[in-house]
C-alpha cells in the first residue's frame, strides 16, 4: 500500500475556473512531491590569468520544476486528468504545506504517459506530473500594505482650543472651534520593509484629489524610479504592477505604459529596509499612493 502524504495539498486552476486537486481527500492523492526547495542555480564567474581559481560575480535560480507522484484508478479519473492539461496554457497553483499557503504560476513541463506500467482505461496507472515554474519564487498569502502618499483632505489638522496654536488664531477663541486647517506638503520619504531576502515587485495605486503632474514613485534605497509623462485629474486612479510576468500600468483602466519616461525602471523593493517616496513634478499633496506586495520565498 502506498503512503499518502497528508501535510501537503496542491491545487491547479485554469483560466476558465476548472480546478484539479492533489492531496489527501482531493481528486488525486499525493504519494511523493519534489521541487519545493531551491531550483537549479546558475553561477557567473570570471577567471584571471594572474590568480588561481575564479572570481564569483553572482548567482541566480533559473526555474522550478515541481514533480508529483499520484495515480488514477479508472476511466473517469483518467479522463479528468488528461483533459485538464494543455501544453501551451499557463495555470495558477495554490500549495498548502504545513498549514501555510503559497501561490505560483506554471505550465506543463512534460507530458505524462497515462498508460505506463501496464495501465489502461480500466486498471489504472501511476501518474508522474511535472510542472515548470519560469518564476522560481512562490508567493505567500500575507500581503504587505503601505501608504507612501497623501493629500490635504487626509492631512488636515483639527483644533479644538485656540491655546494649542495661538499664533494661528490668537484673537477669536470661539471661532476657532471646529475649524480645519489644510496643510500644503511636499513629498516625504517612507521606510518600508520587505521580509524576503530577494527583490520583489510592487503594486501601486495612486488616487488623485487634485491635479497631479507626471506622477513618480522612487525607491531612494536603490536610486531607481518609475515616472509617467501624464497629468492626473481629481478622482483619477493610476495602477502600476512591477512584478515580473505581470507588468501593467493603467489610468482609469486604460493602458498607459507608453507614457513611461525613458529613464524609468520597474521599481522593486529589495530585501530588508527600503525608503520609498511618491514625488510627482507637481501635486505631491494632492494624491494618495498605496504600495502593496506579497511575501516571496524560494523554498518551503
pTM above 0.75, yes or no: no
What is the grid cell recorded at 291?
504600495
Distance CA 285, CA 154 (A): 9
Please tell me the total number of residues recorded for the chain in this structure: 300
pLDDT digit string (tens) for 176-199?
333 333 344 567 888 888 888 888
Q: Are 285 and 188 within 8 A, CB to CB? A: no
- Digit-by-digit pLDDT tens for the chain (300 residues) are 566 777 788 899 888 888 989 988 888 889 989 998 887 888 999 988 888 888 888 888 888 999 988 888 777 788 788 788 888 888 899 998 888 888 888 998 887 765 555 555 556 678 888 999 988 888 888 888 888 877 544 433 333 333 333 333 223 333 333 333 334 456 788 888 888 888 888 999 999 999 999 999 999 999 999 999 999 999 999 999 998 778 899 999 999 999 999 999 999 999 899 999 999 999 988 999 999 888 888 888
Contacts of 298 (CB under 8 A, 6+ apart): 38, 39, 61, 136, 137, 138, 198
What is the grid cell recorded at 108?
506543463
pLDDT digit string (tens) for 218-234?
999 999 999 999 999 99
The strand pairing partners of 190, in sequence order, are 276
Question: Which residue's C-alpha cell is 483619477?
Answer: 236
Can you give the chain as a three-state secondary structure string?
Answer: CCCCCCCEEEEEECCCCCEEEECCCCCECCCEEECCCCCCEEEEEEECCCCCCEEEEEEEECCEEEEEEEEECCHHHHHHHHCCCCCCCCEEEEEEECCEEEEEEEEEEECCCCCHHHCCCCCCEEEEEEEEECCCCEEEEEEEEEECCEECCCCCEEECCHHHCCCCCCCCHHHHCCEEECCCCCCCCEEEEECCCCCEECEEEEEECCCEECCEEEECCCCEEEEECCEECCCCEEEEECCCCCCEEEECCEECHHHECCCCCCCEECCEEEEEEECCCECCCEEEEEEEEEEEECCC
Position 241 scores a pLDDT of 92
Position 228 scores a pLDDT of 96
Q: Terminus-to-terminus CA distance in the chain, angstroms?
A: 28
Q: Are 138 and 103 within 8 A, CB to CB? A: yes
Amino acid at each position: 500500500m502506498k503512503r499518502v502524504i497528508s501535510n501537503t495539498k496542491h491545487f491547479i486552476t485554469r483560466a476558465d475556473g476548472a480546478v484539479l486537486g492533489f492531496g489527501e481527500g482531493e481528486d488525486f492523492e499525493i504519494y511523493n512531491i519534489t521541487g519545493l526547495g531551491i531550483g537549479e542555480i546558475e553561477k557567473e564567474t570570471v577567471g584571471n590569468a594572474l590568480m588561481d581559481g575564479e572570481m564569483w560575480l553572482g548567482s541566480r535560480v533559473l526555474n522550478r520544476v515541481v514533480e508529483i507522484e499520484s495515480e488514477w484508478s479508472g476511466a473517469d479519473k483518467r479522463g479528468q486528468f488528461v483533459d485538464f492539461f494543455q501544453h501551451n496554457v499557463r495555470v495558477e497553483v495554490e500549495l498548502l504545506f504545513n498549514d501555510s499557503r503559497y501561490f505560483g504560476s506554471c505550465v506543463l513541463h512534460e507530458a505524462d504517459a497515462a498508460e505506463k506500467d501496464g495501465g489502461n482505461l480500466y486498471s489504472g496507472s501511476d501518474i508522474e506530473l511535472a510542472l515548470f515554474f519560469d518564476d522560481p519564487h512562490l508567493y505567500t498569502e500575507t500581503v504587505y500594505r503601505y501608504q507612501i502618499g497623501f493629500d490635504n483632505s487626509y492631512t488636515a489638522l483639527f483644533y479644538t482650543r485656540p491655546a494649542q496654536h495661538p499664533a494661528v488664531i490668537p484673537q477669536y477663541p470661539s471661532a476657532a472651534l471646529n475649524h480645519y486647517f489644510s496643510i500644503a506638503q511636499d513629498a516625504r520619504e517612507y521606510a518600508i520593509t520587505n521580509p524576503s531576502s530577494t527583490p520583489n515587485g510592487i503594486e501601486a495605486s495612486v488616487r488623485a484629489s487634485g491635479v497631479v503632474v507626471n506622477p513618480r514613485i522612487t525607491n531612494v534605497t536603490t536610486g531607481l524610479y518609475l515616472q509617467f509623462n501624464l497629468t492626473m485629474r481629481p478622482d483619477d486612479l493610476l495602477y502600476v504592477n512591477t512584478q515580473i510576468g505581470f507588468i501593467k500600468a493603467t489610468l482609469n483602466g486604460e493602458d498607459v505604459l507608453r507614457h513611461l519616461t525613458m529613464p524609468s525602471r520597474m521599481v522593486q523593493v529589495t530585501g530588508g529596509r527600503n525608503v520609498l517616496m511618491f514625488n510627482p513634478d507637481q501635486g505631491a499633496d494632492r494624491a494618495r499612493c498605496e504600495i502593496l506586495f506579497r511575501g516571496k520565498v524560494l523554498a518551503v
